[in-house]
């Protein structure tokens, strides 16, 4: 880690309470994030990555979901103890989020300028002319061509890459200390995706903001992140530096994810895939969540969830196989 943590999440639990029973979307998640650091949160769809991010902002769907327990410390303050009024002042100014789909993040009946100015005005008072100039500067910062003209456009008048830059501009408009990027490149083609990732790295270098980067793409992790946390069925099963996790993955699920990435230097008849399906959230196994799909699982794996094993200062994993190390 680069230094003292600016964000620290401890034993976070977020559950859904539908009629069928309790859904443990996030269960016992803990991680930390330092200033200027990028932590990648990876895993299959439905593993709880986005719900973890929404829990940090206290934006879980109501009334079905509830943060049951845990702590989210941002610069010495526990966000889970804040009132909703206090959280409205924290969102955007101290911690902000880029949502996955820019098409649904932007209101189609308002101009880009209206939406960007609204985000700035919540935290920074001023005359409309000054707020407009500030909005144009933010668009220029994310390298949107012709910001003076584009600020008067509606979302449907812009391409996917342009809209993604606008969403990013809204997120960084008040210089947050922590930025949550929830799969921000999913809707972009490969060329624009690389430009956008480099743009985020450039802004981070200038502002030293911390980034929690949610993705399922290990290529993006290798390009963007300093550390990576692997998530499965609501739990983080392995955490470490990108170098350690890529070179020596400890958890069988991490090993399977990395093995699933095609290698251009190898010729194979059939691509590797992980056998089986993730457990249903209504009926999670009592032991390791990955045990039903793990080729090395034994009786204890199916009956008892493993503790956290620490291999070195940064590299940890939840797997009974590490007990002998």
Q: Per-residue pLDDT tens for 149-181?
A: 999 999 999 988 889 899 999 999 998 999 999
Distance between start and end Cα atoms, the chain: 23
Question: Do the domain assignments include residue 128?
Answer: no
Question: Do the domain assignments include residue 176?
Answer: no
Question: Do the domain assignments include residue 262?
Answer: yes
Quote the CA–CA distance of 163 and 168 in Å, as a whole number: 9
Residue numbers of the domain that contains 224: 5-88+217-315
The number of domains in the chain is 1
Q: 3 pLDDT exceeds 80?
A: no
DSSP assignment letter at 91: B
Handedness of CA 135, 136, 139, 140 (dihedral sign): negative
Quote the percentage of the chain above a pLDDT of 70.
99
Long-range contact set of residues 281-284: C-beta below 8 Å, sequence gap at least 24: 281/16, 281/23, 281/24, 281/25, 281/46, 281/233, 281/234, 282/20, 282/21, 282/23, 284/24, 284/233, 284/234
Please, is 271 exposed, middle or buried when counting C-beta atoms within 10 Å of its C-beta (0-12, 13-18, 19+)?
A: exposed
Quote the CA–CA distance of 215 and 202 in Å, as a whole number: 19
Q: 325 pLDDT exceeds 80?
A: no
Average pLDDT value for the chain: 91
Q: 56 pLDDT exceeds 90?
A: yes
Question: Do the domain assignments include residue 165?
Answer: no
Joined tokens for residue 97:
């989020």
pLDDT band at 2 (very low <50, low <70, confident <90, very high): low
Question: Do the domain assignments include residue 253?
Answer: yes
Stretch 18-34: mean pLDDT: 92
Cβ of 201: how many Cβ atoms within 10 Å? 14
Please, is 272 exposed, middle or buried when counting C-beta atoms within 10 Å of its C-beta (0-12, 13-18, 19+)?
A: exposed
We report the CATH number of the domain holding residue 27 as 3.40.50.300
Quote the CA–CA distance of 300 and 304 in Å, as a whole number: 6
- pLDDT for the residue numbered 62: 87
Stretch 309-318: mean pLDDT: 93
Question: Do the domain assignments include residue 156?
Answer: no
pTM, full prediction: 0.92
DSSP per-residue codes, 219-243? HHHHHH-SEEEEEETTEEEEEEEHH
Quote the CA–CA distance of 225 and 214 in Å, as a whole number: 10
Q: How many angstroms separate the Cα of 242 from the Cα of each of 141, 249, 314?
A: 28, 10, 10
Q: 1 pLDDT exceeds 60?
A: no
Question: Do the domain assignments include residue 325?
Answer: no
DSSP assignment letter at 267: -
pLDDT band at 313 (very low <50, low <70, confident <90, very high): confident
- pLDDT for the residue numbered 35: 95
Supply angle C-alpha 238, 240, 29, rounded to 5: 45
Secondary structure string (H, E, C) spanning 198-219: HHHHHHHHHHCCEEEEEECCHH
Question: Do the domain assignments include residue 137?
Answer: no
Which of residues 9 and 99 earns the better pLDDT score? 9
Q: Are 50 and 182 in contact (CB under 8 A)?
A: yes
93-125, pLDDT tens digit by residue? 999 999 888 888 899 999 999 999 999 998 888
pLDDT band at 219 (very low <50, low <70, confident <90, very high): confident
């Amino acid at each position: 880690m680069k230094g003292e943590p600016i964000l620290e999440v401890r034993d976070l639990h977020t559950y859904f309470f539908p009629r069928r029973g309790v859904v443990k979307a996030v269960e016992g998640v803990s991680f930390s994030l330092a200033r200027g650091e990028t932590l990648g949160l990876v895993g299959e769809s439905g593993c709880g990555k986005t719900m973890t991010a929404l829990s940090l902002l206290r934006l879980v769907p109501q009334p079905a979901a509830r943060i049951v327990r845990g702590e989210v410390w941002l610069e010495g303050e526990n966000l889970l103890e804040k009132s909703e009024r206090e959280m409205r002042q924290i969102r955007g100014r101290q911690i902000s989020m880029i949502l996955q789909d820019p098409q649904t993040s932007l209101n189609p009946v308002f101009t880009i300028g209206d939406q960007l100015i609204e985000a700035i005005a919540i935290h920074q008072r001023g005359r409309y002319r000054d707020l407009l100039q500030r909005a144009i500067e933010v668009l220029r910062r994310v390298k949107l061509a012709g910001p003076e003209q584009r600020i008067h456009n509606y979302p449907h008048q812009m391409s996917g890459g342009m809209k993604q830059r606008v969403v990013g501009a809204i997120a960084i408009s008040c210089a947050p200390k922590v930025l949550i990027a929830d799969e921000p490149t999913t809707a972009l083609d490969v060329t624009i995706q690389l430009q956008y990732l480099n743009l985020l790295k450039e802004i981070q270098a200038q502002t030293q903001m911390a980034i929690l980067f949610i993705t399922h793409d290990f290529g993006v992790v290798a390009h963007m992140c300093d550390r990576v946390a692997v998530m499965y069925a609501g739990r983080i099963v392995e955490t470490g530096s990108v170098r350690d996790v890529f070179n020596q993955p400890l958890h069988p699920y991490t090993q399977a994810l990395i093995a699933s990435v095609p290698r251009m230097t190898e010729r194979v008849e059939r691509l590797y895939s992980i056998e089986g399906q993730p457990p249903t959230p209504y009926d999670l196994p009592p032991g390791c969540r990955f045990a039903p799909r793990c080729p090395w699982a034994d009786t204890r794996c199916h009956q008892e969830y493993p503790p956290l094993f620490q291999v070195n200062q940064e590299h940890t994993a939840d797997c009974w196989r590490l007990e002998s190390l």
